[in-house]
Amino acid sequence: MNILIINTSDRSGGAAIAAARLKTALLNLGQKPRMLVAAKEGSDLTTIAPMSAWRYKLSWAFERLGIFLRQGLSKFHLWDIDPATHGIDITALPVFREADIIHLHWVNQGFFSLKTLSKVLDSGKPVVWTMHDAWAFTGLCHSPLECMAFRRECGNCMLLRKAGQNDWSHRVWQRKQSLYAQGGRLAFVACSRWLADMARSSTLLSGQAVLDIPNPIDTHLFTPGDKEQARMLLGLPQGKSLILFSAYNVNAPIKGLTYLREALTRMVEAEPSVRDRVAVVLTGRGAEQMAEPMPVEAIPLGYVTDPKRMALIYNAVDAFCLPSLQENLPNTIMEAKACGVPTVAFRVGGIPQMIDHCADGYLAEPRDAANLAQGLRWVLAADAASLRKLNRAAAVEHYSEARVAERYLKLYQQLIDHGKPVAD
């Protein structure tokens, strides 16, 4: 089966990682997947960029400029909204014409315009759209947070400088509604049950097929290893309990580093020896330039793109902490679990389906630093061997590449044969 996987990037961000892993998994099952990206960073021959780097940057810049001209500095929201005004027509490319299945992932920020999306849906080819955030079923935003306007019709958007019933978000919402009404063989996939439930509640996807299939992970690469050796190779201290915090952008407010900082401060105040016994390892952009210092030793390892190095980092730590305010089904928790590392996270988004509370990890109440501190204490005091075994088993059962790829292959075939998913 010729499968075309489409994502804005082949390496940057969680969606890119998930899409690339799915391509590898499908290849291992004897399929013929290729990946189409706007910005190619790697050298894989099965990944194609249809335009030069400067042309994509120009498309991105014009779209961002349009946001600035509408919003001004007061409500710029450079990363929060996407009007999909600029993009490239991919439907004339040979790789598109040869495909049996079109599999969209994250296609924003200058890659797909609404016009591009219309042409793809109007091509007659079966389309699977894996949603890594809420953009497919909202007007403009990727993360609606507390806003539930997408359940009716977007409008009066709190992210817009000029909000109103017929504002920019409402007009884009209407464009999407017209696109989805074109019909065709289309299925939406959410990476978590939480996101799938949100999508089904949106009037934009009323009558559309919405499934939930998790992202895949290479459980052969992300696997438990020797902690002492991992720390030696990374130059990390041997005698401390290490907590990992990892995000694409460490200082992004939605990732919740401030809550981890407050939780550790509470732990140090309650037990001063924690300052000498615990350290935080940080990976991601801005790790070396944290907004505020940590109450314990902080060890920045920068932005990590090499999955082998990332697996080594997981194996070097005792716990992974993800105090995000909203998440779908984070790759980082899957990776940590596959390496046998327990996670402490807020009970938000799709995270509760990934952690068995007080069994293989800890679910803290959202925005509650005291409860987060309690979770960190619980994980660091629990039996490490038991946590390692439970997390590894769960990762292999739910997120292995082969298992996820088989579910997608079944969906592809159903769209080809029947034009829609068929219930078991």
**pLDDT tens profile 131-142:** 999 999 999 999
Q: How confident is the model at residue 57 (pLDDT cuts 50, 70, 90)?
A: confident
Q: What is the pLDDT of residue 292?
A: 79
Q: Are 23 and 35 in contact, with CB atoms under 8 Å apart?
A: yes
Say whether both 188 and 246 belong to one domain: no
Q: Is the pLDDT of residue 424 over 60?
A: no
CA pair distance 107, 118, nearest whole angstrom: 13
Record the pTM: 0.81
Element (H, E) at 381: helix 369-381
SS3 76: coil
Average pLDDT, rounded, for the chain: 93
Say whether both 167 and 250 belong to one domain: no
Say whether both 149 and 231 belong to one domain: no
Pick from 69-78, 162-171, 235-244, 271-280: least confident? 69-78
Q: Are 337 and 219 in contact, with CB atoms under 8 Å apart?
A: no
Q: Is the pLDDT of residue 77 over 80?
A: no
Say whether both 131 and 272 belong to one domain: no
Which of 415, 419, 412 has the alpha carbon at shortest distance from 22?
412
Say whether both 19 and 82 belong to one domain: yes
CA pair distance 412, 128, nearest whole angstrom: 8
Residue 424, domain member (yes or no): no
CA pair distance 202, 208, nearest whole angstrom: 10
Q: What is the pLDDT of residue 329?
A: 86
What average pLDDT does this structure show over 314-323? Answer: 98
Residue 221, domain member (yes or no): no
Q: Is the pLDDT of residue 159 over 60?
A: yes
CA 129 to chain centre: 14
CA pair distance 283, 301, nearest whole angstrom: 5
Say whether both 192 and 45 belong to one domain: yes
Q: Are 195 and 349 in contact, with CB atoms under 8 Å apart?
A: yes
CA pair distance 29, 402, nearest whole angstrom: 8
Q: Is the pLDDT of residue 16 over 80?
A: yes
Taking CA atoms, 93 is separated from 4, 49, 66, 90, 129, in Å, by: 11, 11, 27, 6, 19
Specify the number of domains making up the chain: 2
Q: What is the pLDDT of residue 417?
A: 92
CA pair distance 62, 129, nearest whole angstrom: 25
Residue 316, domain member (yes or no): yes
Q: What is the pLDDT of residue 182?
A: 80
Q: Is the pLDDT of residue 67 over 90?
A: no
Q: What is the pLDDT of residue 40?
A: 87
Say whether both 319 and 372 belong to one domain: yes
Which of 284, 187, 30, 40 has the alpha carbon at shortest distance from 20?
40
Residue 249, domain member (yes or no): yes
Taking CA atoms, 304 is separated from 5, 228, 283, 311, 340, in Å, by: 24, 20, 7, 10, 20
Say whether both 347 and 409 belong to one domain: no
φ/ψ of residue 161, rounded to 5 = -70, -40
Say whether both 151 and 239 belong to one domain: no
Provide Rg for the chain, Cα atoms. 22
Residue 423, domain member (yes or no): no
What average pLDDT does this structure show over 117-130? Answer: 95
Q: Helices (DSSP H) in 72-167: which residue ranges?
A: 94-97, 114-121
CA pair distance 255, 323, nearest whole angstrom: 6
Q: What is the pLDDT of residue 68?
A: 86
Residue 55, domain member (yes or no): yes
Q: What is the pLDDT of residue 75?
A: 63
CA pair distance 399, 413, nearest whole angstrom: 21
Q: What is the extent of the structural domain holding 345? A: 227-399
Say whether both 95 and 123 belong to one domain: yes
pLDDT digits (tens, 9 = 90+) for 356-411: 999 999 999 999 999 999 999 999 999 999 999 999 999 998 898 988 999 999 99
Q: Is the pLDDT of residue 313 over 60?
A: yes
Q: What is the pLDDT of residue 272?
A: 97
Pick from 10-14, 192-196, 372-376: least confident? 10-14
Q: Is the pLDDT of residue 73 over 80?
A: no
Q: Is the pLDDT of residue 53 over 80?
A: no
CA pair distance 109, 20, nearest whole angstrom: 19
What average pLDDT does this structure show over 170-199? Answer: 92
What is the identity of the amino acid at 367?
R
Which of 398, 390, 13 has the alpha carbon at shortest distance from 213?
398
Q: Is the pLDDT of residue 76 over 70?
A: no
Say whether both 32 and 171 belong to one domain: yes
Residue 38, domain member (yes or no): yes
Residue 246's domain is classified under what CATH number?
Answer: 3.40.50.2000
Q: How confident is the model at residue 291 (pLDDT cuts 50, 70, 90)?
A: low
Residue 222, domain member (yes or no): no
SS3 253: helix
DSSP structural state of residue 109: T
Q: How confident is the model at residue 11 (pLDDT cuts 50, 70, 90)?
A: confident
Say whether both 255 and 334 belong to one domain: yes
